[in-house]
Amino acid sequence: MARRKREGTPGWSQRAAWQLFNLTADIAETADLAAKEPERVAELPALWDMWNAEQSEPLWKWMRPFFPRAHLPCASIPADSLRFMLLYPAIDLMSGQVVRLRQGRADQKTVYSSDPAAFARQWESEGGDWLHIVDLDASFSGKQQNLESVRAITSAVGIPCELGGGIRDVEAIRRALDAGVARVILGTKAAESLEFVGEMAREFGREKIAVGIDAKNGIVSVKGWTQETGQSALDLACNAVKAGAGTIIYTDIATDGMLQGPNFPETERVNAAIVPLGGQLIASGGVGTAEHVLRAAKIPSLYGCIIGKALYDKTLSLPEVKAALRG
C-alpha cells in the first residue's frame, strides 16, 4: 500500500496528519479497502472532522499536489457517512456568462454574472468540494466555446473542476484537460459510442472520464437535451461503467432548475446499479433546499451531488448544507 511522506502540517500532530494522509492515499488507490481494512476506514470520519475543525485550508487543497485528481471512491466509504457525499456547485456558461436554465431550455435563461471566476472562488470558499462546469453553448452546438472562462475558473480555485458540454472527440478532451480540469464529462458522444468511452478511459485514466446521462422519464436525451435517443438511462449508466467510465453524472431533466427536489427514486436506482460495478454516481437536477441534499446524502454510497440554481437564488447556502451533513 502507498506510503508517502508529508512534512509539517501546522496545528496538527505529526501522527494524525500522517494517518489521514496515508489513509486517504490508500482509499484513493484501493477500491475495496473498506472490505480489507474496515477498522482503518472507520477512523476516517473522526480524522476528517478533526481536520475540518482545525484547518483553514480545505483538505483537498492540501492534498492536491499529491493527488492532482483525487477523489474518494464511494464504494470504499462507509455507506452511512453523510459527510462523504461531495458537494459540486455548478457553473453553467453561455457566452462567457454564468447562467442557469430551467429544464435545460435556452429560452428559459437567467444570467447571474459575467465573472465566472468570482463565483468559482465564492463556491470554493463556502465549502464546495469540486466545481461542476458546463459549457452550454457547446452542448447545443457540439463545439467548445467557453474555454477561456474555464481556464479563468480553474486558475482561480484550488479545488478540482469537471467540465462537460461539446466534448465529443479526443482533441476536445485534451483541450479541456489543458484548460486545467481534472475530469471531463461525455454526454452526447457517450450515448453514441461506448467504445469511445472505453478508449478514452484507457487513454486518460478512468478517473478523468465521467459520463453525463441526462434523462427524461428514464430515457436519455442528448445535444443540449433537444433530442431523445430512446435509450434507457439505467442501461447506459451500467454500460458506461462497464466500458470504463469512473463516474456517472445523472441529471433528471424534468426537475433541473425547478428547486423542487431531485428525482430520488431514479437516482437511487442508478446508484444501486452502478456502485457494485465499481462506478460512482453524482446526482444532479432539482436540489432546492438543504433537506434535499441531506436526503441525497442518505442514499447509500452516493458519491456526489450537484447544486446549481439553489445557490444562485440563495434558497440554500453551502455552509448551511455542510452543517446539515455533519449533523
Q: Which residues bind ligand AMZ (CB under 6 A)?
A: 101, 104, 134, 136, 138-139, 164-167, 185-189, 212, 214, 222, 224-225, 251
- In the complex, the smallest distance separating the C-beta of residue 220 from ligand AMZ, rounded to whole angstroms, is 10
Give the other-Cβ count within 10 Å of 54's Cβ. 12
Sign of CA dihedral 251, 252, 257, 261: negative
Least distance between ligand AMZ and beta carbon 265 (Å): 20
Name the residue nearer to ligand AMZ (CB basis): 174 or 326: 174
Using the minimum distance from each CB to ligand AMZ, give the nearer residue, 186 or 307.
186
Minimum CB–partner distance for residue 162 and ligand AMZ (Å): 8
Residues 6+ apart with CB under 8 A from 5: none
Residue (129 or 214) nearer to ligand AMZ, CB: 214
**What is the Cβ-side half-sphere exposure of residue 22, based on CA atoms within 13 angstroms?**
14
Under a CB-based contact definition with an 8 Å cutoff, are residues 236 and 212 in contact? Answer: no
Whether residue 44 contacts residue 19, with contact meaning beta carbons closer than 8 Å, is answered with no
From the CB of 236, what's the least distance to ligand AMZ, in Å?
12
Around Cβ 68, how many Cβ atoms within 10 Å? 9
- Residue 26 or 135: the one with the smaller Cβ distance to ligand AMZ is 135
* 255 class by beta-carbon count within 10 Å (0-12 exposed, 13-18 middle, 19+ buried): buried
Residue with nearest beta carbon to ligand AMZ: 187
Least distance from ligand AMZ to the Cβ atom of residue 304, Å? 13
Burial class of residue 66 (count of CB atoms within 10 Å of its CB; 0-12, 13-18, 19+): middle
Q: Output the DSSP codes for 93-110.
A: EETTEEEEEETTEEEEEE
Residue with cell string 457553473: 91
Residue 164 or 180: the one with the smaller Cβ distance to ligand AMZ is 164
Query: What amino acid positions are annotated as catalytic residues?
Result: 92, 214
